[in-house]
Amino acid sequence: MESVRLVELTEDTVKFIKEALNSSPFYRLLGMEVVDIKENYSRLRIPFKKELLQIQGVAHGGVVASIADAAVAIALFSLVDLNDILSTIELKVNYLAPIKSGEIVAEGRIIHKGSRIAVGEADVWNEGRLVGKALSTYMVLKSKGQ
């Protein structure tokens, strides 16, 4: 997969990305944490908490969608310049099983990257079972300096 980066994906860059995202208000609200970033790969987690439940006693589907969307975006971060703006233009999630307890984990990867459009997928896991599968399309808006 061809990529042009102005910033190398070094250990320091990965640390910077993790710290920036993990301190963002939305990530903190969900308890979402970036665990790992490699080229074309990300792994995130959300510890289960009762605030994530909908009225039927299972995690709200928006939690699964959020972690899946974030996993794909972060995998894409590893392939573009950090100043580029990434915007989700479509997200499809298949919900395969309810989540009633335990950690929620997502792994994201990019399956196609063009100059302006990228498509990625995410697997969402809970206690060792696949609970969600997502396909996401992103627009990559180049930073002004490119």
**Consecutive 10-residue averages of pLDDT for the chain (146 residues):** 55 89 94 95 96 96 98 94 92 98 97 96 97 98 74
> Strand runs (DSSP E) across 4-143, as ranges?
33-38, 41-46, 85-95, 104-113, 117-126, 129-141
pTM of the model: 0.90
The confidence score (pLDDT) of residue 146 equals 54
Residue 79 backbone phi and psi in degrees, to 5? -115, 0
Per-residue pLDDT at 6: 44
Amino acid type, 130: L
